[in-house]
Each structure stands twice: as structure tokens, then as C-alpha cells.
Amino acid sequence: MFFKRKSKGGNILAEDKRYLLIMKDIKVASYDIDFAGIVSNISYIRWLEDLRLAWLEKYFSLTKQIDAGFIPILLETHVQYQHAIHMFDKVSGVMWVSRLHSHKWRIKAEFVVNEKVMAIAEQKGVFVDRVKWRPIRIPEELKELYKREKEEKQ
């Protein structure tokens, strides 16, 4: 299921190519709610982490990465809040790889309630060697997986 986003003027925006997509239901808990009665900013960060871990479990095992001597590290996180999420809202999280560079990766995510995009997020990161703590090139396994899906969707 893909969700259409509207610009402020109401026009449908062109959607990103969504490679290596994952969807996950997210339960809003009482501790997610702030004093204004809406989901707190920090909850979105936790939900992004939950989505990223689910993505890793499905596509690029964190255990295998650690065994191979590297790990993913976040460099940036941006969240654009479009509409408030409240207690008892049924939230779906969607995450995908939007871009792979030689050394950096970029993932995007949306938090959706009733097919309405409530927040959009983007994270950028690198893989680092666990011993030297230096960035490494995007691992071949991930590049091949991304390339294969990209070819299938074109």
C-alpha cells in the first residue's frame, strides 16, 4: 500500500521510488503522549529506530554486519510533522531506502493514520569499520540487493 502525499496547495506530489520497503504497525502507548495530548517528538525517533531495526531484520541482518566487522551509524535525522497523532490512533510506519552513495545511505519513512501522512522522516548514515571507526564503502550485499530491486521496479 502506498500513500499519496499532498502539497500545501493540495496537489499530489511525485512519490519517491521506494526500494526495499518495509511496513510496520505502531501502537501509540500512554508514555508516547506529551502534556498537549499528542504524540511527543521523541516517540517518532523511537519509532524510526523500531522501523530501522525491522528493516535490518528483513533485508540486511545487523548480526551479519557485526560478524563482518562493520555497523551502521546515523549521521542525521529529520522529521517533518504534518499532523498530530493522538492516543488510540492506528499508526502505520513505512520505511524504504531512497538512495545509496559510495559511502553514505539515505532512508525515508512516513507515519500514516487512515491513509493520511502524519509525519515524514529522513535519515542519513554510513557504515563504519568496528575496529578503526572509519567509514567504509556501502557493502556489496546491500548494493546488489538495492540494484536488483531497482531493476525489478523499472
Residue 70 falls within a domain, yes or no?
Answer: yes
Residue 142 has phi, psi (to 5 degrees) of -70, -40
The count of domains in the chain is 1
Q: Grid coordinates representing 73?
A: 551509524
Residue 12 falls within a domain, yes or no?
Answer: no
Tell me which residue range forms the domain holding 127.
Answer: 19-153
Residue 66 falls within a domain, yes or no?
Answer: yes
Residue 103 falls within a domain, yes or no?
Answer: yes
Closest CA to 121 of 88, 74, 153, 154: 74
Residue 8 falls within a domain, yes or no?
Answer: no
pLDDT number for residue 26:
98
Sign for the pseudo-dihedral over CA of 81, 52, 154, 116: negative
The C-alpha atoms of residue 118 and residue 81 are separated, in whole angstroms, by 6
For residue 93, give the CATH number of its domain: 3.10.129.10
State the 10-residue block means of pLDDT for the chain, 154 residues long.
45 63 97 96 97 96 96 98 97 96 96 98 98 97 94 87
pLDDT number for residue 11:
35
Residue 52 falls within a domain, yes or no?
Answer: yes
The answer to whether the predicted template modeling score (pTM) of the entire model surpasses 0.75 is: yes
Residue 6 falls within a domain, yes or no?
Answer: no
Residue 25 falls within a domain, yes or no?
Answer: yes
